[in-house]
Structure 1
Amino acid sequence: MSNTTQLLRFITAGSVDDGKSTLIGRLLHDSKSIFEDQFSAIARTSEKRGMAAVDLSLLTDGLQAEREQGITIDVAYRYFATPRRKFIIGDTPGHEQYTRNMVTAASTANLAIILIDARKGVLTQTRRHSYLASLLGVPHVVLAVNKMDMVGYSQARFDQIVAEYRAFAAQLGLHDVHCIPLSALNGDMVVDRGGRLDWYLGPTLLELLETVEIDHDVNTSDFRFPVQWVCRPQTEEHHDFRGFAGRVEAGEVSVGDEVTVLPSGRTTTVKEIVTYDGNLQTAFAPQSVTITLADEIDISRGDMLVKRDGTTRCANATDAGVPSAHPPRVEKEIEAMLCWLSESPLDRNRKYLVKHTTRTAKCLFSRLDFRVDVNTLEQHAADRLNMNDIARVAIKTQQPLVFDSYGIDRATGSFIVIDEASNNTVAAGMIA
């Protein structure tokens, strides 16, 4: 896949006043990704406030409450593009009470920018945001040491912060960490290099965003195809057509490949791969396609197609030989790290719904192992979960789920929990 068609999703996270909104404003402004009327509007607002320069943070703090308080509350998504790549930015809140907002944004991100004030160094919030990035499996992390202008563009100060952060990141298992000194206010090392950080020889922030390798962020080896819809056109021309529509969540599949249907364990071969633009020989993640099969097999929404080569047997499947280095699990109990999103606490006496890929099943919380203090990373015994709590739990489901661990595949290793009564999403989970 060429860079011209790639989309990079990234989030920014940092403490209050670290300059997240200013950094994104600078990125949009210097990459010429804002309209003149937008710039004129924030220029007028800045002038009314008596500011000497245009306040670029106003480009992202969209809510009135955010402008009034000078903080970020909601996740503000912004889109921009350069000739090399397209981008979606999630500007996430820094406060602990908005943990759920960061979890939501990080769940689909390829990269996280962890912002640090060069004067303050690594803070508790830095550790919390880094922990959440590791928990959500964000593949790439950029440590952006901002406000270098406030410490005289000191290389020694930058090196000190980087050494401390890398030691902490290693404990979390964050391996792909890039460290960049910058000044969002003055624009040094954001889009343009500037002239005051000549001791730093690495890429600017935008150069890194344009070139970071994301082809392998998707699992390319283990084919996973959750069936979203059984396609039976009621037309004379296609009256005997029976296809299974969905998105390839991992790996690839070709016409003629042997596949296994889970959880039933029935096997067959791929007859056609159908799309609106014509048939394909091979489909790759994350393409949405309709697959037809050589045999008449009872398949419904929530079932999953995986490749079969007869080398690995899958628990609970009747005769399923499931290939690949990581065969999926088919079970009615899952252990997971869970972020509680709802203002109403978890009620362990109630049934909830778990939605995993395209399957929805009733569930009960069978265990609460511990709650994680996101500031200290300490584990505490827990008998209830409140909003923004992160905990290790066990969930029993009424129907078997076909899943991988979150570390193997984010799509088949994640789920949400829904309140049956209100239909609200109350939690998001990452399967262990």
Structure 2
Amino acid sequence: MSKPRTLRTLAQSSALSALSALLGLAATAPAWADANGVKIGVITDMSGSYADLSGKGSVLAAQMAVEEFGGKALGKPVTVLSADHQNKADIASSLARRWFDTDGVDMVIDFPNSSTALAVQEVARQKQKIDIVSTGGAMALTNQNCSPTGFHWAWDTYSVSYPLVRRMIDQGRNSWYYITVDYAFGQSLEADFRKAVDVSGGKNVGSTRHPLNASDFSSPVVAASASKAKVVVLANAGNDMINGVKAAGEFGLVRAGQTVITPSTFITDIKSLGLSTAQGLTYVDPFRLDLDDKSKDFVERYYKRHKAYPTHGQIGVYSGVLHYLKAVEAARTVDGLAVADKMRALPVNDAFVHNGKVRADGRMVHDMYLAQAKTPAESKGAWDLVKYLGTIPGEEAFRPLSASECPLVKK
């Protein structure tokens, strides 16, 4: 027979029960924003090959999203940090780790280099923090390297290859050669083009690799010319793409009847080339500058502050930040897994896209646009550089989930 419980033991028991309840709540409570509020980190290229298409312009885009949202989330201020990854994966991952562990950063975004994007996504996965890749393009981000807290926003190597290849081969351009930057992005881009050419009935006739930030494209361009391929793909971006286009012009590839494709084209690239050189370049663009009044208003406001039109990577940063903040408010927390669930549940509607959908693999699916650089005679202003030839529906533009290797996707 047990002893009767005294008032003191009852009081002690009640106190222990209350403490246990509090500890239980603490263990399961969501991660509220700390006293300094929500922190967003833009990891980008401030001084290298991709600085014009991302860099300070991406930081501004993030700030504009925060301003549009009202400057606060969960009742506390939202702060934007920025850093230069110098196109090095180790620097990018170290930055992210320090920001997550020491500086209280809740989400990181941009990554105009796929090696840096893949490295940071792994750090974010370990820390259960949100990362959004806007400017990088490697398919692995939402395929074999997908993450519960990782998202791919503006474009990827599939969306700028398969739709374009189908249209080119239908026009009789059925032999393909590649000039490829030799790291994750270029390798992924060439691989997707090769697969697309194969399934569309075309022929891949060869390729040449070059290092990032190459200074001389004469050798790969001469090899492309000698191949007699009907299409030459510059599987690179930024200054490498610009220098490749210039070399192709100097060696007369277009005059000889070859079509030069620049799948990773940003409006800043066309501006740097000038329409006399860039005219006729055909590519798939994730953003239509004149999509609607909201888009045109954003472009105008951005131009007033940056003195350049936004690239699709930069407005993708704006869209990603805005969607993240909406998800934080919906989840009532900055906990990465909870916010990720809301990011997948909420539609994406802003100045960048209409009715975007975030899939289980982290891919944001939206319409893409077949675009072409204007001729000098067609242009009516300094930034009137692009014309749109058609819309590619999102479900066609992006790799279907049925072909995904992402373990988050239910088969």
TM-score, with normalisation over the residues of structure 1?
0.25
- Structure with the larger helix share: 2
Whichever structure has more strand as a proportion of its residues is: 1
Higher relative contact order (CA 8 A, sep 6+): 2
Query: Normalising to structure 2: TM-score of the pair?
Result: 0.26
